[in-house]
Structure 1
Amino acid sequence: MKKYKKFSILFLFMMLPICSVYALTLEEAVNKTLKNNFYLQSKQKEVNSKKYEIKAASAAKYPSLFFSATYTLLDEKKTQPFTTPFFSEKITMSEKEYFDIFTGVKINLYTGGLISSNIKTKKLEYESSKSILSEEQLKIIFKTKKAYLDILRLYSSKKIAEDYVKSLTSHLNDTKLMYDQGLVPYIDILQTEVKLSEAKQKLTTITNNIKVAKSHLSTLMGEKLNDNYHVESLNYNIPNKLPVDQLYNIAEKNRPILQSLKTQIKVADQIITATKSQFKPKIYLIGGYKYSDMLEDINPKGNFLIQAGISFNLDWNKPFKETEARKEIKYAIIKNRENLKLKVLLEVKKAIEDLNSAKENLKAAKDAVTKAKEYHRILNLKYKEGLANNSDLLDAKAMLTDALMREKNAYYNIIEKYFAIEKAIGKELR
């Protein structure tokens, strides 16, 4: 029984590394990035701050409480002579020390559109910040997908490199047997061992690159450096032809950065309205309590009061110039959006052309693999018949290995370029 327990415990410890490795899908990677990426979290906090700015601007619609209290100490009581034909005396104008207190509520009845414009401005800035967040999400999602594909590329390269090492190992064993039989010179063994050593070094490099690529993906997902997981393979059916004009329209409609600038134009309009409010009077109502003991003989010292007021202030031509400045900013945003729209459309076009190039490159890579396989097959037959030397056969094996790696890389390039189109238009096509 004790032996059985020891075996169970040992088995569990042996299984721990296996159980800790998990399979990660592309969808899971993207969802983790959207949830945990620290950069996106910081951008989300910036969006959240805009909500509070809306509430802060809205507070101006409601009554505001105020309170002020002052204590004054003079060097002496202030008096003023008061003379008549019958008598003359000094009238106290201010006690040597006194208190002034004023507290109450102020209500803005009319501000010339300043308050409503400020509220609308903050709401629009909030919408703009959400669009900017969406744009940043597009970029991070594309980086996540690319990082995921990079791991798959390395997986494929590792498998091909492992097969290459196995092939060279097998060939080395055959070469040694042939050498023992006196069929090949010793230099063939040395040459094969050198090629095998190079292949193992390349395999080691690829294996280490996989660890780095996985850690890179984990950082995008907001996790600690981790390479103890697998990613699942992808199988995408990329359309042979994409509706270019339709993609342009989708990009103009869905690309968040364009939506943000469109909203910023509306923000500029509201700022212009707020600036124009300087041309209009401000009407307010105050209700409160005022206390002063500046004059000791005057009673009552405190009074409740209601005060209606109007104020108007025009600093020469300052409001006019500020309004014109805001208009210029609006026109600048309009032109910037037009410029950015062209850049977005160019990005879409480039992504489409890159996808077309990737498709052609895959065709060429497949053709190269077919020819490399045939070349290797013929060289292998000739080598066995003594019509080709070891160097030719090793070159043929290396050529086939490179062709296979280029084919896999070309395949994943197609998927990457397809993801680039989705980023450019701001929408998934699947």
Structure 2
Amino acid sequence: MRTGLTSSLPVWLAVVISLMSFQSYAVTIDRLEKSNDVEIKAWLSDGNGQGDIRKESEQSKTLPSFSVNEQIILNVEVATPRWFTGGTRIESVEIPNVLAKQRNQLATNYTERQGGQTWSRQRWEITLYPVKSGAYKVPPLAVNVQVSAPDGSNVAGTLYTQPLTFDVSLPSGLLSEDTPWFTATSVDVKQEWVQSSEDLKVGDAITRKVTVNAQDSLSVLLPNLLKSDSSPYFQAYPQPHRLDDTQTRGDYQSSRVEETVYVIQQGGDFKLPEHQFQWWNAKTNKLETVTLAGKQFHARHTPASFVKANARSLVNVFVFVVIVLVAFLAGRRYYQRHPTPPWLLFGLEVRKGEWSKARAQLYQYLRVSTDHLEMGKADSDKAWLKTSLQVQTGAEKAYVFHKMWKMISGKKGARNGLRLPKALPKLEKGHKEG
């Protein structure tokens, strides 16, 4: 029994050794990379997705340089001389002060002849947008792949890209990192106006819609244009912004749609303001300014809005009318108990055309004011003589009578239509005789 067990020991030992040998020589993704059966590489290219900037910078011994907010393409490519047997997944890119976005979740697949072999290649593009100046480093990225091994087995594992470095600076001294601007290769702006009614009135609404389309940029970098521009004439109600980033055949497009509803609060003429923004043209290396023109409007008042808009003036008018009415009633009550003043009687008679009564009032006023009974002898002034002559010869013109009344009022001794009595007339007469 012991002899049989002893004789079978080498067989078991051989099986164990063979299993250990198989495991030690099992195909892994690392072995495939070392044997050049799978490869991975990464590089940076400019906003147009052209050129291996990493290689160019290595040749010139300088860091690849980009502008703040400029679009940088991080290219990641995996290749094998056989074929891919499963999906490939790239870990997310996280770099401080850099916005990273993988717009296309599908890789670009193609084949290429290399060294007499046909290689299958998968390429991903990740867009990077540095928002501040400085030196940056793209860390090694983990890429999970599954490929066919030379022995026909499927091998899955993780490959790592090489680290990449680049430099970022402001493209112009006219720009700063504290003011809103963005970088693109092309910008298109469209503005639309919609009125709730053609003939605007208080309570109606005006909708202002602005669409900004930028090539080789990111929607979150596009500036906020329509600020909350409320005024006594209108109230602004901004609507949620619509941001969109797309990629079509290698072209990266970003759009920002802003919409604000202005509800008219007050009638009259008013203007919705213009807005401006700046962007750096990475294609021409120039700073460009875009102006969104404002627009003039006119709105009619409603009764309620008219009262609201002119409340202070209406209150002042109301108070004035009340004061005048109270004064009128008080004066009326006073003159119901007292004689009507001469100037008022004279004015009413002239207005009614009762010229004889008005002429009698003038003579009476002349006597009280000057002690003269004849107009021609009261003064030798030419203007006086001319006007008095017109009154005496029967002129029936209101302006002549009023002028005569005013001239009499200007004579010495006339005080608001009343003659001041002479003090001690007897003494004055005795003085003259002496």
TM-score w.r.t. the length of structure 1 is 0.23
When you count strand as a share of all residues, which structure comes out higher?
A: 2
- Pair member with larger Rg: 2
